[in-house]
Amino acid sequence: MSRSPQLQEKLLKCKHLGLSAYEEVWREMETFTNERSAETIDEVWLVEHPRVFTLGQAGKDEHILDAGDIPVIKTDRGGQVTYHGPGQLVAYLLFDLRRLGINVRELVSGIETAIISLLAEYKIEAQAKKEAPGVYVGERKIAALGLRIRHGCSYHGLSLNIDMDTAPYKRINPCGYADMEIVQLRDLAVKNSMDEVCEDFLSHIQRQFGYTSLIHLIH
């Protein structure tokens, strides 16, 4: 049986969720992943979260130095502890890896490459590190990754620091590394708005993973 024309076109749907609570979006991702079929079109969800620390599946409490008034949520993604807050772009990638013909390592590498290409567009030289997933400007981390794969499909994704309060990072060992420095686009003299960065990011993700068309949805 041949695939539908839609799937042959390799469509990607994008949901813009605005400012939304972390746990609510996480549960929606789980439901989407559990209920999707081989015919389900892949999606990317773009969101900002209210202030929250999230601890990955193998995350160690010792990397949370002083949570204070910021809630801590233990989640099922990979990785250690990170921080989310307004002014940070969080992108959740709900991809069927089998249909894309890639493995988890290629997914991670593709995400990093897309972010590095995005930053190059802004005249920022960035790189990935084999031993510590994410994207770095020098030794400073600008984007973090944390994924979960279920039934060959991904959920969770990445965060990219744009114009946020980075002080809460000092309350944790970001991604399990003590004294890791954090940087954001604002620090690097990039003044693009959140909406502009979102559009640029989507074009790089679409190109990196070979999606032919992008459909925007309002949540």
Active site residues: 175
C-beta separation of 63 from 125 below 8 A: no
Q: Can you spell out the DSSP letters for 57-99?
A: TT--GGGBS--TTS-EEE-SSSSSEEEE-TTEEEEEEE-BHHH
Q: Kindly give the residue spans of alpha helices, DSSP state H, lying in 22-175.
A: 22-35, 97-100, 104-121
Q: Are strands 52-55 and 81-84 parallel, antiparallel or unpaired?
A: antiparallel
Distance from C-alpha of 174 to C-alpha of 53, rounded to nearest angstrom:
10
Residue 102 φ/ψ region, left for φ over 0, alpha for ψ in the -120 to 50 degree band, beta for the rest: beta
Distance from C-alpha of 20 to C-alpha of 124, rounded to nearest angstrom:
29
C-beta separation of 10 from 213 below 8 A: yes
